[in-house]
Structure 1
C-alpha cells in the first residue's frame, strides 16, 4: 500500500516569499499580504484542500549580503516589507475549523517568558490549532537591530534554543496543574493557588523564577515544528520536534536527512515513526503536461535575477554578487544557514551562479514539479517512496493561484489514488496529526517538567553540588 501524502502551505507575511519578482505577474495577489482578506481567502482554500496547516515563515532582519547591501532586497521586495506572523493566527482561525496554523518565531530575539504568553494566547484563540516553528535565525541584520551586535555562533544559537524551549516547557507543562482553574461561582474560586507553581528557572542564558501568566491552553505546548537541517539543527529536531521542515533539492539528500533524523530521534528515546517530515516543494499543475509547462514558462518571465540571488546570498551568507555568472558555487564556512551551503556546494550537482539564480527564482531551495495532476502525483509518490518523507511544504509561485490549482486539480487525483485525506480528524492540531492526546506524549522531553516541584528540587541539588543541571 502506498504511503499517505500530507501537505502544508508554505507562506510568509510578505510579498512573493520564495519566488522573487513574481509579484509583477498580473494574477498575483501577494502584494495584498497586509490585508486580512488575503489570509482568510487563502485559509478557506487550504481547508477545502485538507491541508494539515498553513506554515508561516518569518525573518527578523533583512537580506543585505548580496552586493554588500539591501538595495536589491528593497527594490524587489525580497521578504521586505515583512509583517508579524503571529497576529494572523486569530483571523485564520475565525474562518476555518480544522486548518493548523504554524507560526515561525526565533529563539534569538524574544524573551521566552513574554513569548510563552503570546503562544498560549494564540493556542486559546485557535482552540488548539497552533504550531510553533522553532528557529534560531540566520540574519546578521536582525541580531544587530535588537542590540546584539551581531549573530551568535551557529552552535551557540542552538545551545540558547535548547534552554529557551526548556523554559517554555516549564511554563506550559509545569506551572499550572490540571484542575487548577475551576471557575466555581458558588464558592467564588476561579483558580486554586496551590495548584499554580513558580518554575524557578535559573539557567545560563535565562532567569525565569515565576509563574506562567496564562492558564493551560488546549494543547499546553503548541505543536512543535523545527526547520534546522545542519548537524546541530537535526539533533535539535530529533530531540524536540514533532514536525520537521527541510528544503532538500534532491532525493539523495532528502533520504539521508530523513534517515538521520529518525535515527537520532530513536537514540533520544522517542518514537521516530511519530515524527512528520515535510520537504519544500513548489508545484505547477494544470490539466495537461503541456498546459503546466506553458504556465511555468509564463511564470519564469517574471523572475527577478537579483531578487533570487538576494535570497541565496542571505540564506548561505555568501555574497554571490562578487562572482561571475559562470563561476561555480564552492563550499565556504559561514554563520548563516549551514545546510544551505552544504546542499548547494555538495550533493549531486555543481551549480554555476547563473544556474543558481534561475533555479532559485521560483520555489527557493526546494525542487519545482511541473505537470498534469497525474504526472505530479506520480512524482510526489515516487519521492515519498524513495525517501521516506511524510509530506510536502508547498511554496507558491503565484498567490493564490498556485494553491487553488493544487486544491482543484492535484488533491482530487491524490485522493482518487487513496494517498491523501478526504476529511480532517477531530480535535486539536496535535490530535489531527497524530491521533493521540492533545498534549505532548510521555516520551517527549517536555513531559519531564510536568512535576515542576520535583524538577526544582533536582536542579537545586545539582547546583549545590556544583554539577550540571540534569537534562
Structure 2
C-alpha cells in the first residue's frame, strides 16, 4: 500500500521567504505579511486544500553575512523585516477547525520557563493543533542581538538543546497531573494543589524551581518538529523529534538523510516509521504545460539574485559576495547551518555548483527541487520522489502567495486525491492525532518526555 502524501505549506512571517524578489509580482500579497487579513485568507485556503499544517519558519537576527552588512537583506527584504510567527497563529486557528500549525522557535535565546508557557497557551487556543520546530539558530547577528559576541558552537548548541528539552518536558508533562484542574464551582476549588508539582532542575545550563504556569493543554508537549540534518542534528532528531524537515535539491541528497535518521531512531529504541519525514518541494502549476512554463518564466523575471545570495550566505555562513559568479562553490565548515552548504558541495558528488547556479536555484523555492507542469506531471514527480526518498510528506514553499497555494488546492490536491494518495477528509482530534492516529493526543513511550510524568 502506498503512503498517504502529507502536505505542509511552508511560509514565514516576512516578505521574502524562500523566493527573494517575488514580492514584486502583481499576484503576490506577502507585502501584507503584517496585516491579519493576509494570514486569515491563507489559513482558509490551506484548510480548503486539507493541508496537514502551515509550517512557519523563523529566524532571529538579520542576514548580514553577505558583504558583511545588513544592507542587501534590507534592500531585497530577504527575510528582513520579520515578525514573530507565534502571534498570527491564534487568529488563523479561529477561522479554521483542522489546520495544524508548526511554529519555529529558537531555544538559544529564551528561558524554558517562559517558552513553555507560550507554547501551552498556543496549544490551548488552537485546541491542540500546534507543533514546535525546535531550532538552535545559525546567525551570529542573532547572538549579538541577544548580548553575545557570537553564537555558541554548532554541536554545543545541541548539547544545550538536550537539556532545554529536559526542562520543558518536566514543565509540560511533570508539573500538573492530568486531572489537577477540577473546576469545582460548588466547593470553589479550581485545581487540586496536591496534583500540581514543583519542577526542580539543576543542570549545566539551566536552573529551575517552579510549577508550570499553565494547566494541562490538549497535547501537553506540542508536536515536535526538527530541521537540522548535520550529524549532531540527526542525533537530536532521533531522540526527540516526531517530524523532521529537511531540504535538498535532489533525491540523491534526501534519501540517505531519511535513512540515516530512521537508523538512529531505531538505535535509540524508537519506531523509525513513527518519525515523519518532510522534505521541501516546490511546484509551479498550470492547466497545460505551456501555461505552467510561462508562469515559471514570469516568476523568474522577478527573482532577486542578490537576495538569493543573501539568504545562501546566511544559511551557510559564507560570504557569497566575495565569489565570482562562475566560481565553483567549495565546502566550508563553520558554526552556521551545515546542511545548506552540504547540499551544494558534498551531498551529491556528481554535481558541481557555481555561485550563479546557486543564485538561480535558490531564487524560486529555496534549495529544494522545483517541478513545473500540469497537476498530472506534478503528481507523477511527487509520487516518484516519495518512492526514491521514503519521505512521508512535503513542506511546500511558494513563489507567490497565496496564489501558489490556491493552485495547489484547486489543481494538485484533486489529482492526488483521485490517485488515492491524499486524504479525503481530516482526521478528528489534535494535530498529533491527525498525524499519528486516534487516542494519541499525548506522546507515548519510549519518547523521553514520558519519563518525567508523575507516577
Q: CA deviation digits over 1:186-222, x for unaligned, max 9?
A: 1221111011111111111000111000001000001
Deviation at 1:335, TM superposition (A): 1.1
CA separation in 2, counterparts of 1:299 and 1:272? 39
Deviates more, 1:384-393 or 1:343-352: 343-352
Alignment of 1:69-468 (within 5 A): 69-346=69-346, 347=348, 348-435=350-437, 436-451=439-454
CA separation in 1, counterparts of 2:81 and 2:61? 10
CA separation in 1, counterparts of 2:205 and 2:181? 31
SS in 2 for 1:209: strand
CA separation in 2, counterparts of 1:77 and 1:248? 23
Tell me the matched-pair count: 452
CA separation in 1, counterparts of 2:388 and 2:218? 36
CA separation in 1, counterparts of 2:393 and 2:248? 13
CA separation in 1, counterparts of 2:145 and 2:202? 27
Structure 1 residue ranges, 4+ long, deviating more than 3 angstroms after superposition: none
CA separation in 1, counterparts of 2:171 and 2:139? 28
CA separation in 2, counterparts of 1:82 and 1:93? 21
SS in 2 for 1:345: coil
2:5 is aligned to 5
CA separation in 2, counterparts of 1:174 and 1:434? 23
Q: CA deviation digits over 1:404-445, x for unaligned, max 9?
A: 000000000000000011100000000010004100011111
Deviation at 1:248, TM superposition (A): 1.7
CA separation in 1, counterparts of 2:3 and 2:371? 19
Alignment of 1:55-70 (within 5 A): 55-70=55-70
Deviation at 1:118, TM superposition (A): 0.4
SS in 2 for 1:283: strand
Q: CA deviation digits over 1:34-77, x for unaligned, max 9?
A: 01010010000000111110000000000000111111100000
Deviation at 1:289, TM superposition (A): 1.4
Is the CA contact (8 Å cut-off) linking 1:271 and 1:443 kept in structure 2?
A: no
CA separation in 1, counterparts of 2:3 and 2:450? 30
Q: CA deviation digits over 1:143-179, x for unaligned, max 9?
A: 0111122111000100111111110000000000111
Task: Provide structure 2 residue ranges, at least 5 long, that are not aligned to the other structure.
Answer: none
CA separation in 1, counterparts of 2:154 and 2:293? 40
CA separation in 1, counterparts of 2:279 and 2:330? 24
CA separation in 2, counterparts of 1:3 and 1:215? 37
Is the CA contact (8 Å cut-off) linking 1:3 and 1:385 kept in structure 2?
A: no
TM-score by length of 2: 0.98
Deviation at 1:88, TM superposition (A): 1.1
Deviation at 1:121, TM superposition (A): 0.5
Q: CA deviation digits over 1:107-148, x for unaligned, max 9?
A: 111111000000000100000001000000001000011112
CA separation in 1, counterparts of 2:264 and 2:191? 41
CA separation in 1, counterparts of 2:251 and 2:193? 54
Deviates more, 1:341-350 or 1:299-308: 341-350
CA separation in 1, counterparts of 2:148 and 2:72? 25
CA separation in 2, counterparts of 1:281 and 1:178? 39
1:469 is aligned to none
